[in-house]
A and B are shown apart, each in its own frame.
Chain A
Amino acid sequence: MDLHPNTMDGVKVLAPSGRIDHTSADSFQAALEPHLAQCRDHEPPLVIDMSAVDYISSVGLRVLMVAAKQVKAQNGCIVIAALTPMVKEVFEISRFNLVFDLFDSVSAAARTHGTRA
Chain B
Amino acid sequence: MKLRFWGTRGSLPIALTASEVRAKLVCALNGAVGRQLDTPEKIAHYVDHELGFDVRGTFGGHSSCVELVTGAAEHVIFDMGSGARPLGASFLQRFGAETPQAYHVFMSHVHWDHIMGFPFFAPVYIPGNRIVIHGCHAVLEEAFRRQQAPPSFPVNFSELAATIEFDTLVPGKRYSIAGLEVTAKLQRHEGDSYGYRIAAQGKSIVYTTDSEHQLGDSAERDRFIEFFRDADIVVFDAMYALADAISVRADWGHSSNIVGVELCQAAHVRCLCMYHHEPAYDDVRIASVLQETRRFEEITRGDRPLEIISAYDGLELDV
Interface-located stretch among A9-17, A37-45, A94-102? A94-102
The proximity string for B residues 43-61 relative to A, scoring 1 for CB distances below 8 Å and 0 otherwise, is 0000000000000000000
A59 to B220, CA, bound (A): 13
Q: Please name all residues of chain B whose beta carbon is closer than 8 Å to the beta carbon of A65 when the two chains form the complex.
A: 243, 246-247
What is the CB-to-nearest-CB distance from A8 to chain B, in angstroms, rounded to a whole number? 29
Residue pair B295, A59 in contact (C-beta under 8 Å): no
Q: Is A116 an interface residue (CB 8 A)?
A: no
Bound: A58/B300 CA distance, A: 12
A93 in complex: contacting residue of B218, B246, B262, B296, CB < 8 Å: B296
Q: How many angstroms between the C-alpha atoms of A90 and B295 in the bound complex? A: 9
* B interface residue count range (under 10 / 10 to 19 / 20 to 34 / 35 or more): 20 to 34
Q: Are B259 and A93 in contact (CB under 8 A)?
A: no
Chain B stretch 208-253: residues in CB contact (< 8 A) with chain A? 215-216, 218, 221, 241-244, 246-247
Among A55, A69, A86, A95, the residue within 8 A (CB) of B242 is: A95
Contact B243–A95 (Cβ < 8 Å): yes
Interface size on A, residues (CB 8 A): 19
Decide: B221 and A94 in contact? CB cutoff 8 A: no
Is B140 in the interface zone, CB < 8 Å from A?
Answer: no
Is the beta-carbon distance between B244 and A95 smaller than 8 angstroms?
Answer: yes
Q: CA–CA, A59 to B245, complex, Å? A: 12
What is the CA–CA distance of A79 and B156 in the complex, to the nearest angstrom?
58
B216 A96 Cβ-Cβ under 8 A: no
Tell me the dominant secondary structure on chain A's binding face. helix
A57 on interface, CB distance cutoff 8 Å: yes
Known contacts A22-B221, A55-B300, A58-B262, A96 near B243 by CB under 8 Å: yes
B317: Cβ under 8 A from any A Cβ: no
Which positions 177-234 of chain B face chain A at CB distance < 8 Å?
215-216, 218, 221
- Smallest beta-carbon distance B5→chain A, Å: 24
Q: Does B292 contact A (CB under 8 A)?
A: yes
Contacts of B293 in A (CB 8 A): 93
Contacting residues of chain A (62-104) with chain B, CB-CB under 8 angstroms:
62, 65, 69, 86, 89-90, 92-96, 98-99
Q: How far is the CA of A95 from the CA of B278 in the complex (A)?
A: 15
The reply to whether the CB of A53 lies closer than 8 angstroms to some CB of chain B is no
Q: For A62, what are the chain B residues with a Cβ–Cβ distance below 8 Å? A: 215-216, 246
Q: Which residues of B contact A86 (CB under 8 A)?
A: 299
Residue of A nearest to B222 (CB): A22
Interface pair A59/B242, CB less than 8 Å apart: no
Given contacts A59-B216, A94-B243, A95-B244, could you give 16 more A-B pairs where the C-beta distance is less than 8 Å?
A22-B218, A55-B300, A57-B262, A58-B242, A58-B259, A59-B215, A61-B243, A61-B258, A62-B246, A89-B295, A89-B296, A90-B296, A93-B258, A93-B295, A96-B242, A96-B243
7 tightest A-B CB contacts, nearest first: A94-B242, A95-B243, A95-B241, A62-B215, A93-B292, A93-B296, A59-B215
| 15 A–B contacts, CB within 8 A, in A order | A55-B300, A57-B262, A58-B256, A58-B258, A59-B216, A61-B242, A69-B247, A86-B299, A90-B258, A90-B299, A93-B258, A95-B241, A95-B243, A98-B243, A99-B243
